[in-house]
Amino acid sequence: MAGAWRRGTNPGGTRAVGGRSEVRGGKAVVGASLIVVGILCMVVPRISGHASVVAFGVLLGLSGLIELIGGARERGNQYRGVLMGSGLFALAAGAVMVARPFAGLVALTLLLAMFFFAAGLFPLVAGLLERGPGWAWEVAFGAISTLLGVLVLVGWPVSSLWLIGTLVGIEIAVRGATLMASAYSLGPSPRAPAVRPV
């Protein structure tokens, strides 16, 4: 029986499995799939943008419903009205996004454009005024973000057709690339030691 022992095989006859190789392979497959999905989202940004708005509307509506239920159960709480009002607003906004995804897409694009503009303007002005360490990078980031916000605002509401879907696709593709890089950064699985028969 002892003579039946072989390299990488246990006495029951089952071969030892390289767990690290399985993890690496699984992460690589998921990463590659996410990259493909991200590219598809960028190719058809209108469809992916509508799907993202509907998903966001469902989550927003669920959170509003939970707030409403929580506020209804919190009798005697001085913040009950605020909680129920916030829940009702979130539920209504989520319902509108699900029922009219294009309107939600236009609204989200406008908010994103304002965010890009504001997020770029402050570091741009601060970098030019203070000129501290790394101020050139701050100015470059601020200029790019501000310019992106201006371009989206100028093209709004037509920019709603591609912005959200493109950003979602970029995020998914980057996530997939990160998973693949993480998978291939794992070293090879250690080989099973040779077991000599006694």
* pLDDT number for residue 4: 45
Q: CA-CA distance, 119 to 134, in Å (whole number)?
A: 17
* pLDDT number for residue 188: 52
* pLDDT number for residue 9: 47
Domain residue spans of the chain: 26-182
Per-residue pLDDT tens for 97-142? Answer: 889 888 888 888 888 888 888 888 888 888 888 887 777 888 888 8
41-55: average pLDDT: 87
With H, G, I as helix, E, B as strand and everything else as coil, classify residue 9.
Answer: strand
Query: Is the separation of the CB atoms in 152 and 19 below 8 Å?
Result: no
Considering all CA atoms of the chain, what is the largest pairwise distance in Å, rounded to the nearest integer?
Answer: 81
Per-residue pLDDT tens for 68-101? Answer: 888 777 777 677 777 788 888 888 988 988 898 8
With H, G, I as helix, E, B as strand and everything else as coil, classify residue 131.
Answer: coil
Tokens of 145: 């973000």
* pLDDT number for residue 182: 77
* pLDDT number for residue 58: 92
Q: What is the pTM of this model?
A: 0.61
**What's the Cα-to-Cα distance from 4 to each of 13, 95, 185, 196, rounded to whole Å?**
9, 67, 36, 10
Instruction: Give the DSSP H/E element, type plus range, for residue 64.
Output: helix 45-73
Q: CA-CA distance, 31 to 48, in Å (whole number)?
A: 19
153-172: average pLDDT: 84
5-14: average pLDDT: 45
Residues contacting 167, CB < 8 A, separation 6+: 112
Residue 21: which pLDDT band, with cuts at 50, 70 and 90?
A: low
